[in-house]
A and B are shown apart, each in its own frame.
Chain A
Amino acid sequence: MTIENAWQRLSEHAEEMKSLHLKELLKDEARIHSLKHRHDHLLLDFSKQRILPETFKQLTELAEVSELTRQIERLFEGDIVNQSEQRPALHTALRAPKSTQIEYQGRNVIDEVYESLERMKEIVTQIHAGQWRGFSGEPITTIVNIGVGGSDLGPMMACKALAEFKATTEQKLEFIFVSSMDGSQLAEVLDHLNPANTLFILASKSFTTIDTLANGATAREWLCNASGLDDALLMKRHFIGVTAVPDKANEWGIPCENQLHFAQWVGGRYSLWSAIGLPIALKIGMEGFRQLLDGAHSMDKHFRNTPFERNLPVLLALTEIWNINFLDIHAHAILPYDGRLAHLPAYLEQLEMESNGKSVTQSGEPVTRRTCPVLWGEVGPNAQHAFYQLLHQGTERVMCDFILPARRYDEHSDELKKQHRLALANCLAQSRTLALGDDVIKQAETAPAHKRYPGNQPSTTFLLDELNPYNFGALIALYEHKVYTQAVIWNINPFDQWGVELGKVMANELLESIENQETGNFDGATNALLTEIHALNQFCQYKDQDKAS
C-alpha cells in the first residue's frame, strides 16, 4: 500500500464515521477494553474519541507506510532528523543509561551527557549544603532562572509540578523564573531580593538570546550597585551560565567553572533533561532528577519497542491526526485536573506549535494537509469557569486532553483528600458531558434550545497513578514522541523553528529607529505607530523637565 492509498482509505472510513455520535459509540460497553492502553503508571483512555478499533487499525497502517518504524530508529540512533539544520535530535540520549552507546561525530554522546550531569551534581551538592557563597560569604538561598522558551518553560513547569518532592537542603531555597524581555518580571523581583544570597542562572542555548541577555545585564547592574564589588568577582559568585555555546558565555563574562554545557543536538524545547534542567535538580535533588530522566527513558523504550497497536505516543499521535485531518478539528485544549500541572499547557504550546507549526515538507514542498492545530489550555477546574462554555455549546470542534493523577494527598488532611476527589469527579463529569451531551440526563429534549448540549467533543483521558518525578518524566516524553510521530506522518521537520527568526531581525532594525527616535522606512502602519511612540515619549520628557525646573 502507498501512503496516498492509506490516506484515501482513511478518508473513506471517515465519511462513515462522521455521522456517528459519541453517545452511539459509547453504548458499546466492550469498547473501553480495546481502547485503553497502559504503560508503567500511565493509562490512556481513547474510548471518548470518535474512533472504532477498525480506525486504529487503518491509522497504524498509515504509520507503517509512512515508515514510522524506520524514522523512530533514526531518531534514537542519532541520524540527521533535523534536515534544515543538519543535526540529530538526541534528547533521548539525555535520559539513556550510562552503558548506552550512541555515536555522533566520532564520539559517544553518552559520555558528554554524563560529564554534564556530574558537573551539575557538584553544583547542586554545593548549593544544597549551603556552601555556594555569595560575595558577602552568605549562602545562596534564592535561585533566579533567566531564560526564555525552552530555557524557561520546561524547568518552570517541572519545578511547580514536583514542588512536593523538594530535596532536603541546609537552607530553604526560593526559585524564581524570569523570562519577559521588557524586564517587568525582573524589576518586580529584584525589589525584594537580597543580592548577597541571590544566584542567577542564565540559560540560553546560543547565549545570544536578547531577552535573556537583557535581563542578565539588569541583574548584573543590580548586583554591582548593591555590592560595590568588581564585575569579575560577582560573575564568579552569582552567575551560572547554561549553554551550548561556551565561547559566547565566556564573552559575556561567565567564568568557565560556572558554566554547564549541553550539545547543539539538544533542541531548546526538548532541553529540560539537559543542563537546562539545573533548576529542577536544585529543586528536587539529583536523585529526583534521575527519576525524572528514568521515567522519560522508560517511555523512550516503550516508544521504540512496542508495536503500534499498543504504543502510547503513536496511538495518541494517530488519534489526533484522525481528528485534525479527517474530522476537521483544529483546536486542541490541554486540561490538567491538578494545580501542580498549571504550566503544562504553556509548555505544550511551545512543544507542539513550535515543533509542528510547519507548512513545508522535509523536502521543501508545501504540505498538502493540515498540520499542528491551535493548542491552548488551563487547569481544568479553572477553565470550567472560563472557556468550557465554548467547548459545550460553541460552534468550534475542539479535542481535549484530560490529565489527572488518581491518587493525591496520601499524607495530608481529609479535607485536602476530599478536594482531590472533587477534582476527579469534575474531570470525569466534564469529559463525559462533552462526549455524550445532554444524553446524560433524562428528558433533555424537552429543555429549551439554550439549555441543550450537543456533545460529541472528543477527548483522551490521561490517568496517572500519581504525580511524581518518574511519572512526570514519562508524561512529558509521551508528548515529545507524539509530536515526532505526527511530524513523521506529516513529513515535516519538528526540530527547527525558522518562523521565529525573521521577527528577531526586524526587531533589531526597529530598535535602532526607536533608540534614535526616527520614523524609518517601514510600512505605513509601522511608521505611524513609531510616530505615536516618539511623540508620547517626547511629551514625557518635557513633563520631566518641567518638574525638574
Chain B
Amino acid sequence: MKIAIWGDELAAWVSAVSLAEKGNHIYMVRETHNTALIPNDTSICNEPGLMAAIQAQRDKKQLFACSFEEGCAFETHWMAMAPSEFNQAQTIIDKLVTRNKRLLVINQSNFGIGASEKLRSYLTDPEHQSIAYIPDTLQQGLALYQFNNPDVLIIGSDTDRTLPLLKAIFRPFSGGLEQIQFMSPQEAEFTKFAINGMLALRLGYINELANLADQLQVDIDLVIQGMSADVRVGKHYLQPGCGFGGQHFTHSIKSLADLLSHKQRSTLLEMVLSENEKQKELPFRKLWQHYQCDIRDKVISVWGVAFKPGIASIENAPSIRVIKALLAQGAVIKVHDPAAMLELHTYFGANSQIIYCETAIEATLNSEALLLITEWNEYSSPDFDQLKANMKTPLIIDGRNIWEPQYLRELGFTYYGVGR
C-alpha cells in the first residue's frame, strides 16, 4: 500500500518506519528540497532504534521523502502533526479533496475533541472520502515497541465502509492484540483525553499521598505495594516523584482541564496540574528546609534534567523549576544529564551560577547536596563511596525514589526521598 505521512511528530516517524517494515511504501511529506529523512526535533532522533530503522527502510526503498504536491497524489494518508498545526491540517485536507475522488485520512494528531468533525467538513464526497482518528498513545522512549505490539487498538471512524481498509493496514500489528475497538472519531478523541486525565489523576493522587507520608513518617513504598495488590487499583502510574513534564502529556491534560473548566466549571484537573507544578519543586523545598531557608553560595549537584529518562527534551521538566529556584536563592549549580545538556545550555545559557559537568561524579565535587531529578539508568548504582568523598556535605535528595534509604543512611548520607 502507498501511504503519505504528514507531520514531524514522534508518531509520524514511528508510524512511517513501522508501516514501511510491513511492506508498505511510505512517503514522508517534507518541506521542498528537504529530502533528508531526519526528524526536525532532535529529541525524536534520540528515540531508541528509530534512526536506524529509518535508515534501513530508506535503504530498502520502502521509505521516501516527497514534496507537498507529490504527497497530495495518494489516496491513503496518515497525519501525525503537532497540536498547534490544526490550521495546516485543514489546508492539507482542503487540497487533498481537490486531487482525489477516493480518500482515506488516518489522523493521529492530538488536535483535541471535535477536531475530526471539523476536518470532516472539508470532505467533498463523503461517499468515497473519509477521515478516521487513531489516538496517539505512544510513550517517548518506548514508541517503536508500543506501535508494533499494541494491547488495544482504538479506531474512530464514522463509516463502516472504510473498515476493511483500516483493518488491512492494522492487521500486521494485531498479533498480540487483545481488543480492537471501533467507535466514532469524537469518542476516540475523548478516550485519548480520558486516559491521559486518569493517568494524571493517579500521579497527582500518589504524590499527595507521598507528601502526607513524609509528614507522618510512613514509607510510601510499602503503602503502594499494598495498594497495588488490590486489583481495583492496579500497579500502574503509582510511582511518586517530583512531578511529570513533557510536551504532549501536559498539553493534553491542559486541554482537558480547560474543557472541564469551560463546560462544567470543574477544577479537578486544573488542581492536578497546579499541584504537579508545585510537586516539581519538591526537591528544592526539601533542600530549603534542610538548610533552614538559606542556600546562598552553596554548591548543589543536580543529576538529570530531561523530563524523563531516555530523551533529550527538557520541556516542562521539573529540573527547570528546581534550577530556577536554586539560581534565585544564590546557589551554585553543578549539573549533569546524559542527553539533555545541550538543551539545558540553550535554555539557561552561560551563567556564572551554573557549571555544566561532563560526568555525573564530577558534578558532585564539593557539593552540599545532590538532587536527583530524572531517573536515568546510569544513576541507579553510582559509586557511593566516591560520592561521599566528593561531597562537602553528604546530603541526598532523591526526587524519584531510586535509591535505598536505609543503605544510604548506613553509608552516612542524609537521605530524603518522596514519601519515605
Interface positions of A (Cβ within 8 A of B): 126, 129, 131, 133, 135-138, 233, 236-237
Closest to A133 in B: B288
> Is the beta-carbon distance between A137 and B328 smaller than 8 angstroms?
no
> Is the beta-carbon distance between B328 and A136 smaller than 8 angstroms?
no
Of the A-B pairs whose beta carbons lie under 8 Å apart in the complex, a sample of 18, sorted by A's number, is A126-B328, A131-B325, A131-B328, A131-B329, A133-B288, A133-B293, A133-B325, A133-B329, A135-B293, A136-B285, A136-B289, A137-B284, A137-B287, A137-B288, A137-B289, A137-B325, A233-B293, A237-B293
Contacts A136-B288, A137-B285, A138-B285 known; 15 new A-B pairs at CB < 8 A = A126-B328, A129-B328, A131-B324, A131-B325, A131-B328, A133-B325, A133-B329, A136-B285, A137-B281, A137-B286, A137-B288, A138-B281, A233-B292, A236-B293, A237-B293
Which of A133, A135, A136 has most chain B Cβ within 10 Å? A133
B128 at the interface (CB under 8 A from A): no
Closest to A125 in B: B328
Q: Which chain A residues border B278 with CB–CB below 8 Å?
A: 138
Q: Which chain A residues border B287 with CB–CB below 8 Å?
A: 137
CA distance A236 to B292 in the complex (A): 11
CA distance A133 to B287 in the complex (A): 12
Q: Which chain B residues border A236 with CB–CB below 8 Å?
A: 293
Q: Which chain B residues border A126 with CB–CB below 8 Å?
A: 328
CA distance A237 to B291 in the complex (A): 13
The interface size bin for chain B is 10 to 19
CA distance A504 to B325 in the complex (A): 46
CB distance from A197 to the nearest CB of B (A): 10
CA distance A137 to B328 in the complex (A): 12
Q: Which 6 A-B pairs have the closest CB atoms?
A: A137-B285, A131-B328, A137-B288, A237-B293, A137-B284, A233-B293
Q: Which chain A residues border B288 with CB–CB below 8 Å?
A: 133, 136-137
CA distance A129 to B281 in the complex (A): 14
CA distance A133 to B292 in the complex (A): 12
Q: Which chain A residues border B286 with CB–CB below 8 Å?
A: 137
CA distance A131 to B292 in the complex (A): 16
CB distance from A157 to the nearest CB of B (A): 31
CA distance A129 to B324 in the complex (A): 10
CA distance A327 to B329 in the complex (A): 63
Q: Which chain B residues border A138 with CB–CB below 8 Å?
A: 278, 281, 285
CB distance from A128 to the nearest CB of B (A): 11
CB distance from A44 to the nearest CB of B (A): 46
CA distance A131 to B324 in the complex (A): 8
8 A Cβ contacts from B265-288 to A: 278, 281, 284-288
CB distance from A134 to the nearest CB of B (A): 8
CA distance A236 to B293 in the complex (A): 9
CB distance from B93 to the nearest CB of A (A): 34
Which of A135, A137, A138 has most chain B Cβ within 10 Å? A137
Contact pattern, B 352-367, Cβ under 8 Å of A = 1, otherwise 0: 0000000000000000
Q: Which chain A residues border B293 with CB–CB below 8 Å?
A: 133, 135, 137, 233, 236-237
CA distance A353 to B292 in the complex (A): 48
CB distance from B284 to the nearest CB of A (A): 6
Q: Which chain B residues border A129 with CB–CB below 8 Å?
A: 328
CB distance from B254 to the nearest CB of A (A): 16
Q: Which chain A residues border B292 with CB–CB below 8 Å?
A: 233
Q: Which chain A residues border B329 with CB–CB below 8 Å?
A: 131, 133
CB distance from B305 to the nearest CB of A (A): 19
